[in-house]
């Protein structure tokens, strides 16, 4: 693995841009974003201007044509936004809802939806999970039925990030219930289409993002809005999940490192029994354990990024990373809240927020058990 995977002068320059954006435009507004309860659409316009929304996409559509190592740099910095919900809303747009369109979409679809997504003029969401099917993706029931040159869509999706903000959805729907894994399609649905509505959900964490339930009642979209081939949606979505999971690993570990540093500062200042908390051996051992876990997580992420940069299928490593990194981030949050004592339990404390925010990692985008199930099969069990 090349030592300079993310450390060329180009990476350093790009890191500086994202860091400045994070420090000046995200962190100072972090609690304001929580109160808003939805992501500020203007952030996307700003990020579009900064060239941050299409890092790996073709310059012909406004992308930067860079490899995965730049995505890693971006989310190492955005993970420090002090608002996991905002980071999540951004990553849904850049790496969860748009990869299939960029890879499989027709020229017309890319012009209509990818170009404005990269520019920050349109925001996207990924709509897979349903009230009766999450981990079991093949169990979804939202149905798209062909009528002439249109799809007529009926059904419901739940826990969808950017529900209130998105201009379009990358929707996974059943297009042929008798075709097994060949019976799903990815379809772009504009959120101002008649018959579509959403309802926001009240979450225990990730307050800065808008998560909602989506309803489709005879929603008509052109057949031409199908991403790639009709019937290939399940396979395309499984590929799209790989970017989603790796971005989640990078940003969650970056957030955990930030929390670790904040906890160290706290422990150095907090005095009890006549000495700083940081001078107690238990504190030092806990912090060292966490730092070691974080270092291991970073190395695993790095191995995944190296595979992506080399164009290899990184599914197995990404599944391990998703499992490991999300667990490490929960462990860090739990230990850091403990070291903060009562203050850690306050909503205003970073440790308290991380405790609920980090909990999502092991559930969303493929739960721990989904990763374990896949890896058990890979290991021949
Ligand atoms: C804040 C938030 C944002 C989200 N954003 C989006 C989004 O933008 N788009 C989207 O499509 N979805 C989104 N989701 C949904 C998320 O991806 C699902 O919640 C997740 O996939 C789990 O599905 P489920 O909730 O239906 O749980 P279930 O699938 O019902 O799982 C229930 C339990 O069973 C476990 N389980 C799963 N497989 C196995 C197995 N093989 N063996 C044993 N146990 C198993 C699960 O891990 C879990 O513990 C979001 C969720 C949340 C909470």
Q: For every one of its 381 residues, what pLDDT tens digit does the chain have, with 9 covering 90 and above?
A: 446 899 999 999 999 999 999 999 999 999 999 999 999 999 999 999 999 999 999 999 999 999 999 999 999 999 999 999 999 999 999 999 999 999 999 999 999 999 999 999 999 999 999 999 999 999 999 999 999 999 999 999 999 999 999 999 999 999 999 999 999 999 999 999 999 999 999 999 999 999 999 999 999 999 999 999 999 999 999 999 999 999 999 999 999 999 999 999 999 999 999 999 999 999 999 999 999 999 999 999 999 999 999 999 999 999 999 999 999 999 999 999 999 999 999 999 999 999 999 999 999 999 999 999 999 999 999
Pocket test residue of 157, 208, 363, 372 for ligand 1, highest count of atoms within 8 A of CB: 363
Q: Per the structure block, which two tokens stand in for 273?
A: 């029994």
The reply to whether ligand 1 has any atom less than 6 angstroms from the CB of 257 is no
Checking DSSP bridges between strand 211-222 and strand 150-161, what pairing results, if any? antiparallel
The reply to whether ligand 1 has any atom less than 6 angstroms from the CB of 356 is no
Residue count of the chain? 381
Q: How far is the C-alpha of 294 from the C-alpha of 323, rounded, in Å? A: 13
Compute the distance from residue 122 Cα to the ligand 1 centre, in Å: 27
Q: Whose CA is nearest to atom 24 of ligand 1?
A: 134
Element holding 338 (H helix, E strand):
helix 315-340
What Å distances lie between residue 62 and 103, 105, 120, CA to CA?
Answer: 15, 15, 11
Compute the distance from residue 130 Cα to the ligand 1 centre, in Å: 9
Residues labelled catalytic: 244
E strands along the chain, which residues?
124-127, 143-147, 150-161, 168-174, 184-190, 196-200, 211-222, 226-227, 271-272, 275-276
Q: How far is the C-alpha of 44 from the C-alpha of 356, rounded, in Å? A: 25
Q: Is the dihedral of CA 174, 176, 179, 183 positive or negative?
A: negative
Q: Are 128 and 162 a contacting pair, CB within 8 Å?
A: no
Give phi and psi for 121, each to the nearest 5.
-90, -20
């Amino acid at each position: 693995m090349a030592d300079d995977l993310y450390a060329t002068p180009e990476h350093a320059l790009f890191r500086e841009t994202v860091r400045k954006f994070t420090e000046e435009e995200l962190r100072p507004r972090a609690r304001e974003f929580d109160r808003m309860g939805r992501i500020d659409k203007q952030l996307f316009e700003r990020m579009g201007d900064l060239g941050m929304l299409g890092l790996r996409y073709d310059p012909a559509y406004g992308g930067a044509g860079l490899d995965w190592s730049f995505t890693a740099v971006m989310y190492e910095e955005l993970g420090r936004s002090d608002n996991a919900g905002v980071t999540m809303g951004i990553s849904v747009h850049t790496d969860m809802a748009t990869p299939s369109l960029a890879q499989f979409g027709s020229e017309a679809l890319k012009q209509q939806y990818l170009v404005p997504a990269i520019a920050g003029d349109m925001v996207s969401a990924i709509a897979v999970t349903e009230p009766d099917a999450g981990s079991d993706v093949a169990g979804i029931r939202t149905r798209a039925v062909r009528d002439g040159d249109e799809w007529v869509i009926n059904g419901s999706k739940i826990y969808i990030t950017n529900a209130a903000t998105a201009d379009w959805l990358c929707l996974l729907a059943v297009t042929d219930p008798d075709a097994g894994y060949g019976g799903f399609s990815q379809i772009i649905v504009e959120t101002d289409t008649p018959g579509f509505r959403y309802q926001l959900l009240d979450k225990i964490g990730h307050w800065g993002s808008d998560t909602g339930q989506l309803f489709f009642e005879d929603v008509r979209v052109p057949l031409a809005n199908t991403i790639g081939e009709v019937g290939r949606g399940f396979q395309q979505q499984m590929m799209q999940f790989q970017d989603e999971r790796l971005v989640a690993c990078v940003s969650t570990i970056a957030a955990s490192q930030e929390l670790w540093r904040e906890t160290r500062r706290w422990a150095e200042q907090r005095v009890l029994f006549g000495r700083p908390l940081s001078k107690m051996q238990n504190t030092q051992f806990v912090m060292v354990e966490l730092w070691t876990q974080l270092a291991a997580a970073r190395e695993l992420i790095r191995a995944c990024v190296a595979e992506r940069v080399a164009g290899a299928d990184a599914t197995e490593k990404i599944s391990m990373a998703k499992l490991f990194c999300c667990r490490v981030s929960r462990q860090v949050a739990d230990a850091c809240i403990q070291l903060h004592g009562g203050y850690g339990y306050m909503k205003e404390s970073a440790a308290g927020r991380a405790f609920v925010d980090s909990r999502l990692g092991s559930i969303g985008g493929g739960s721990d058990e989904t990763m374990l199930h896949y890896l058990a099969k890979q290991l021949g069990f």
